C-alpha cells in the first residue's frame, strides 16, 4: 500500500502548497482521500485524474473537498473525448445538506453517502468509519488490506474513541493543526501535536504521520511538541510517498 501526500495544510495552504489530499494505491486501484484546494493540480504530478477509481471525503469543509468542484469539468472533457466512460464514485458525509448537494454534476459523479460505523470494500481496501468531533459531521477512516492498515483522523478534537479506532495501525495519518497553547486557549475543532502523539502512543501505532499543518506556523514546533509522547513522529511532506506495511 502506497500513500502519496498531495496536500497537508489547513485551513488554507501556504504559497505553492495544497490543503488536504492523499492518494492511496494498491494493486492498480487508486483511491483519493480528501480533495482540498490545490490537490487536483498536485494529483496530476502523480496520476491522471481520469484513472481514479474512487474518492472518499472525511467531511465537507472546503479545504477538504473544494477541488471536487473543479475536477468535474475535467471529467466532462475526459468523457466527451472517450478518455473515461464511467462516473467517478465519491463517498462523503451527507451533511451539511447544502454542501452535499453541491457535489453532483451532471452524470460525471456517482455520490454515495457515508457516515460513522460503516464497513464496506473498495477494490483491495476494507473501509471502516468512525464519527469525530468537529464543527460539522465528519468521519475518521480506517483502510485495511493484505499490505497493512492506514487510519486517517480527518479533522477532529480530542476524543477517547480515536485511540481505540486507530489501535495497532501500521500508519496513523493524524491532523495536528494546533499546539498546546491553542488548546489551553479553548480553540475548538482540532488536535494539538501533543494530543495527536498521545493518541498514537496509546493506540500503539507503528508510525505517526502528522498532517493538516497550519500554514503560518514553524513546522518544527509541531515536531518538538509531538516528540514528548511519540519520539519517532514524522511530519507529512507534500509529494512524498509513504509505504504502508505490517
| 12-46 pLDDT per residue, tens | 999 999 999 999 999 999 999 999 999 999 999 99
Share of the chain above pLDDT 70, in %: 100
| Phi, psi of 233, deg, nearest 5 | -60, 145
Query: Cα(122)–Cα(127) distance, rounded to whole angstroms?
Result: 7
Query: % helix / strand / coil in the chain, to the nearest 5?
Result: 25, 30, 45
pLDDT at position 246 is 86
Q: Look up residue 192 and give its DSSP letter.
A: B
**Residue spans per domain, the chain:** 2-240
Query: Cα(84)–Cα(70) distance, rounded to whole angstroms?
Result: 17
pTM: 0.97
- 2-240 is classed in which CATH architecture? 4-Layer Sandwich (3.60)
Closest-CA residue to 128 (of 111, 145, 112, 109): 145
Regions of the chain where pLDDT drops below 50: none
Judge residue 190's burial from the number of C-beta atoms within 10 Å of its C-beta, 0-12 exposed, 13-18 middle, 19 or more buried: buried
| Phi, psi of 99, deg, nearest 5 | -75, -40
Grid cell listed for 89: 464514485
Amino acid at each position: 500500500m502506497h500513500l502519496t501526500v498531495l496536500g497537508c495544510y489547513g485551513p488554507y495552504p501556504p504559497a505553492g502548497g495544497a490543503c488536504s489530499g492523499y492518494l492511496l494505491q494498491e494493486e492498480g486501484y487508486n483511491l483519493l482521500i480528501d480533495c482540498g484546494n490545490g490537490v487536483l493540480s498536485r494529483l496530476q504530478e502523480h496520476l491522471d485524474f481520469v484513472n481514479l477509481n474512487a474518492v472518499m471525503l472525511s467531511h465537507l469543509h472546503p479545504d477538504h473537498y473544494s477541488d471536487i468542484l473543479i475536477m468535474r469539468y475535467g471529467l466532462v472533457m475526459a468523457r466527451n473525448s472517450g478518455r473515461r466512460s464511467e462516473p467517478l464514485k465519491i463517498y462523503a458525509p451527507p451533511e451539511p445538506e447544502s454542501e452535499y448537494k453541491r457535489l453532483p454534476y451532471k452524470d460525471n459523479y456517482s455520490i454515495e453517502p457515508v457516515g460513522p460505523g460503516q464497513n464496506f470494500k473498495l477494490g483491495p481496501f476494507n473501509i471502516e468509519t468512525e464519527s469525530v468531533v468537529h464543527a460539522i459531521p465528519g468521519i475518521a477512516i480506517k483502510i485495511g488490506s493484505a499490505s497493512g492498515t492506514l487510519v486517517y483522523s480527518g479533522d477532529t478534537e480530542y476524543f477517547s474513541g480515536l485511540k481505540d479506532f486507530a489501535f495497532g495501525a501500521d500508519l496513523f495519518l493524524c491532523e495536528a493543526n494546533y499546539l498546546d497553547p491553542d488548546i489551553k486557549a479553548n480553540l475548538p475543532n482540532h488536535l494539538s501535536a501533543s494530543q495527536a502523539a498521545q493518541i498514537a502512543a496509546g493506540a500503539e501505532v507503528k508510525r505517526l504521520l502528522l498532517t493538516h499543518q497550519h500554514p503560518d506556523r514553524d513546522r518544527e514546533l509541531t515536531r518538538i511538541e509531538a516528540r514528548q509522547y511519540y519520539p519517532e513522529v514524522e511530519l507529512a511532506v507534500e509529494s512524498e510517498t509513504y509505504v504502508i506495511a505490517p
